[in-house]
A and B are shown apart, each in its own frame.
Chain A
Amino acid sequence: MGSSIVQAIIDGVLTGGVYALMAAGLTLIFGVMDIINVAQGIFVILGAYLSYSLSVHAGIDPFLGLLITIPALFVVGIGVEWGFMRRLKEGDRTAMSILVTYAVSIVIEGVLNISFTVNYVQIHAWYVNRSVHLLGFYLPYIYVFGFVMAAVLLIALYALLYRTRFGASVRASLQDRTAARLVGIDVRRVSTISFGIGVAVTAAGGMVFGATNAFNASTSYDLISRLLAIVILGGLGSMGGALVAAVFMLVLEDVVAVAWSPIWATAVFFAALVVVLSIRPAGLFGRQVARAQ
C-alpha cells in the first residue's frame, strides 16, 4: 500500500508536468488578453491527432513530429486570434470570449469527427508501453520523456518571458494593458503572438496526452474542464500557480485512485477546487482583485 502510494505520487508528478505545460498556455492567454480560451481542450486533441497522423501515415516519431506540429498549432492560434479574438470589443470581452472560443471548438470538433471518425485512437511508439524499473518503482518511458519535454518547454517559456525584450512586453501587457500601450508596446501584436504561443504548447501536451490516453474529439470536454480547474486553482494569469496546481491536482487524483477508488478520483479533483476556492476565491497564487468590475 505504502509503495503503491509513492508510485501514484510519482505518476502524478510526471503527468502533472504535462498538464502544467498545457495550463501554462491557457493562463498566458488569459493573463495577456483577459480571455478564457475554452478551445484549449480541442487544441490539445488537435495536436494529438496531428502527431497521430504523422506517426501513422509518415512514420515520423511523435517527439520528432513536434517540430512540425508545434509551428502548425502556432499558426492555428494566430489565425484564430486574428480572425475572431481581436474583433471582440472591450468590456464584455471575457464573457464573449468564452462563447467565441466555444464556437471555434465545436467547429474543430466537427472537422475532427469527420476526418478521424469518433473511434478512439492512441499514439504508438516503442516507448509508449515500456517502462524503466528504478528503485522498485516503474517509470513508463512516455511519462518520463513527456515530463522532461514539458520541463524543457516550460523553461524555454520562462526564458522567453523573463529574459527577452518580447517577454518584458508580454509581462507588461499582463499587468496592465492600457499602461503597456501608453509606454509604446504594441499590445495587439503581443496578444496575437501570446495567443499563438499559448496554443502552440498544446501540440506538445497533446502528443503526450495522445500517447498515454485513448482519445477522440469529445475527450476535449474532459480536458478543458481539468485545465480550467488547474488554472483557476493556481490563480488566473499566474504561471507558477498553474504549475503547482497541475502537479497538486494530478498527484491528488492519482493518490485517491489508489488509496480509495478510481471512480471518485475525478470527483475529488473538482471537490478540491471547490474547497480551495471557498477559502481563497482568487486561487492559490492569484492577485486579489479589489473591485472585480
Chain B
Amino acid sequence: MSARRESGGAASPDAPAVPLGGSGRRRAAIGTAWIAFAAALIVFPVVFSNPTVTTIGVFTLVYMTSATAWNGFAGFSGYVPLGHAVFFGVGGYTLALVALHLKMAGGYAMFALVPLGGVAAAVIAVPFGLIALRTRRHTFVVITIAVFFIVQLLAFNLGFTQGSSGVQIPTPLWTAATFNDRFYYAALIVLALAVLVVWGIRRSRFGLQLLAIRDDEDRARGLGVKVQRVKLVGFVLSGVTVGMAGGIYAFFVGQVYPQFAFDPLFDVTVALMAFFGGLGTISGPLLGALLLEPIQQYLTLQYSVGSLYLIIYGALFLVVILAMPRGVIPTAGEYLQMRRARRVERADGRSPAATPSVEVAPLGRASR
C-alpha cells in the first residue's frame, strides 16, 4: 500500500521525474506560501478589527489548532478517535477551576494556565489511551465515544465541577476595541506550536513509525516498532495540544459548562475539518478549519433561530465528501500534478526525456 503522499517538501524526494529545477522552485513556492499564510494570520486582526470578525477569528484559530492536533494522531496512525472533546473540556475546566481556587483576576496571568490545561489533558490522555488503544478500528471509535460520554457525565455530576451551572471565568478588564486581539495572538501561538509539533512528527522517525502502523500495524510490530508506546505517545501529544486550545477557548468564552466544554459536536467537527482538508497532510486540517469554522459561525449567526445552518452544513459536507473523498488538499495536489505532468509531456515532446510523464501519472491517481 502506497503511503499517502503529502503536499510539501516531503513530496519531492519520491518525485524524481520532475526536473530538479522545478522541484526546487516548487519547494520555494511552497515555502513562500507558508510564510505568506503565517503573515496573513498575523496581520489579520489589524486589518479586520471589527470585533465580530475577530471573534470568528479566535474560534477559527482554536479549531485550526484542534483539527491539526487531531490529525497529528488520526491522520498518521489511521485510528479515528471521536472523543477529543474530553481534552478540550479538561483544558477549559483546568483553567477555570485553577483561576477560581487561586482567586485570580482576569488578566494576562490567565494565559499562563493554558499550558496547565495541556498537562491536565495529558494526565487524562494516558489512561484513556491505555484503555482505548488496545482496540482497533470501529471498536476504538466507539470506545472513544463511550469515554467521552463518561467524562461529560462526570463533569455534570461531580461536586468540584459545580454541575450543570458550570464555572465562571473572570473577564479581563481590557479595552473593548482590542479585547479579542490578545486571545487571537495567544491562540495563534498555540496554533504555531501545534503545527510545529505535527510537522516535527511528520519528519521524524516517530512519524514514520506512526505511518507504518497506519499501513499495517501487525507488520510494523513485526518489524520492531513498539506499537503500543508509539500510539500512546501520539495520542497523548494530540490530547495535550487540544487541551491547550480548550483552555484558550474557555478563557475567551468566559465560562465552562459541561454541555459546551464536552460537546459531542466538537468530536465530530474536528474530524470533519481534517477529512475535509485532507487527512494526514499538514495543510489539510488548517484549510479545513479555515473554511468550515467561519462558514459555520456565519450560518449560525445568519440563521440563528432556525436549523437551516445544519442543513446547509450537512449538505455542503456531503457534496465535498462525494466529490473529493480524500479531501481538498490531496485532490488539488493531484490535479496540479496531472497538469504539470501534461505540461512536461508537451514541453519534452521532442527531447529524449519524454518518459517522466509515465512515471508521474501513476502518482496522480495514487488513491487506494
B150 at the interface (CB under 8 A from A): yes
Smallest CB gap from A286: residue in B:
B139
Tell me the bound Cα distance from A109 to B313 in angstroms.
11
Stretch in contact with the other chain, from A119-127, A140-148, A189-197, A274-282? A274-282
A78 at the interface (CB under 8 A from B): no
* Distance from B160 Cβ to chain A, minimum over Cβ atoms (Å): 15
A59 at the interface (CB under 8 A from B): no
Smallest CB gap from B319: residue in A:
A103
User: Which of B134, B218, B314, B325 contacts A107, CB < 8 Å?
Assistant: B314
A160 at the interface (CB under 8 A from B): no
Number of residue pairs spanning A and B whose beta carbons lie under 8 angstroms apart: 131
A89 touches B153 (CB 8 A): no
Tell me the bound Cα distance from A195 to B147 in angstroms.
28
Q: Taking each of B141, B268, B310, which has the highest tally of chain A beta carbons within 10 Å of its own beta carbon?
A: B310
A84 at the interface (CB under 8 A from B): yes
Tell me the bound Cα distance from A245 to B275 in angstroms.
32
Within 8 A of A (CB), among B268-312: 268, 271-272, 275, 306-311
Smallest CB gap from B74: residue in A:
A95
Chain B residues with CB under 8 A of A106: 310-311, 313-314
Where chain A touches its partner, the secondary structure class is helix
Stretch in contact with the other chain, from A16-24, A46-54, A204-212, A264-272? A264-272
Q: A107-B318, A291-B218 are in contact. Are A282 and B310 (CB under 8 A)?
A: no
A170 at the interface (CB under 8 A from B): no
B322 touches A87 (CB 8 A): yes
A263 at the interface (CB under 8 A from B): yes
Smallest CB gap from A233: residue in B:
B142
Chain A residues with CB under 8 A of B103: none
A70 at the interface (CB under 8 A from B): no
Where chain B touches its partner, the secondary structure class is helix
Q: Taking each of A100, A221, A232, A291, which has the highest tally of chain B beta carbons within 10 Å of its own beta carbon?
A: A232
Interface size on A, residues (CB 8 A): 50
A281 touches B80 (CB 8 A): no
A110 touches B142 (CB 8 A): no
B143 touches A293 (CB 8 A): no
Chain B residues with CB under 8 A of A183: none
Q: A84-B318, A92-B325, A263-B157 are in contact. Are A283 and B139 (CB under 8 A)?
A: yes
Chain A residues with CB under 8 A of B153: 263-264, 266-267, 270
Chain A residues with CB under 8 A of B154: 267
Chain A residues with CB under 8 A of B306: 113-114
Contact with B along A37-71 (1 / 0, CB 8 A): 00000000000000000000000000000000000
Smallest CB gap from A272: residue in B:
B146
* Distance from B303 Cβ to chain A, minimum over Cβ atoms (Å): 10
Q: A263-B157, A292-B136 are in contact. Are A100 and B307 (CB under 8 A)?
A: no
Q: Taking each of A89, A100, A221, A293, which has the highest tally of chain B beta carbons within 10 Å of its own beta carbon?
A: A293
Smallest CB gap from A224: residue in B:
B145
Contact with A along B129-145 (1 / 0, CB 8 A): 00100111111011101
Smallest CB gap from A111: residue in B:
B311
A281 touches B308 (CB 8 A): no
A91 touches B368 (CB 8 A): yes
Chain A residues with CB under 8 A of B215: 293
B217 touches A292 (CB 8 A): yes
Within 8 A of B (CB), among A4-41: 30, 36
B17 at the interface (CB under 8 A from A): no
User: Which of A84, A236, A291 contacts B322, CB < 8 Å?
Assistant: A84
Chain B residues with CB under 8 A of A267: 149-150, 153-154, 157
Q: A107-B314, A277-B139, A281-B136 are in contact. Are A96 and B307 (CB under 8 A)?
A: no
B318 touches A103 (CB 8 A): yes
Tell me the bound Cα distance from A291 to B264 in angstroms.
31
User: Which of A99, A107, A270, A278 contacts B310, CB < 8 Å?
Assistant: A107
Besides A36-B141, A281-B134, 18 more A-B contacts (Cβ < 8 Å) are: A92-B325, A94-B137, A98-B141, A99-B317, A100-B318, A107-B311, A113-B307, A114-B308, A114-B311, A228-B142, A236-B139, A263-B157, A267-B149, A270-B149, A278-B131, A281-B136, A292-B136, A292-B217
Q: What are 6 of the A-B contact pairs (CB < 8 Å)?
A: A91-B368, A100-B321, A103-B317, A114-B311, A229-B145, A274-B146
| A interface residues (Cβ-Cβ under 8 A, vs B) | 30, 36, 84, 87-89, 91-92, 94-96, 98-100, 102-107, 109-111, 113-114, 118, 217, 221, 225, 228-229, 231-232, 236, 263-264, 266-267, 270-271, 273-274, 277-278, 281-283, 291-293
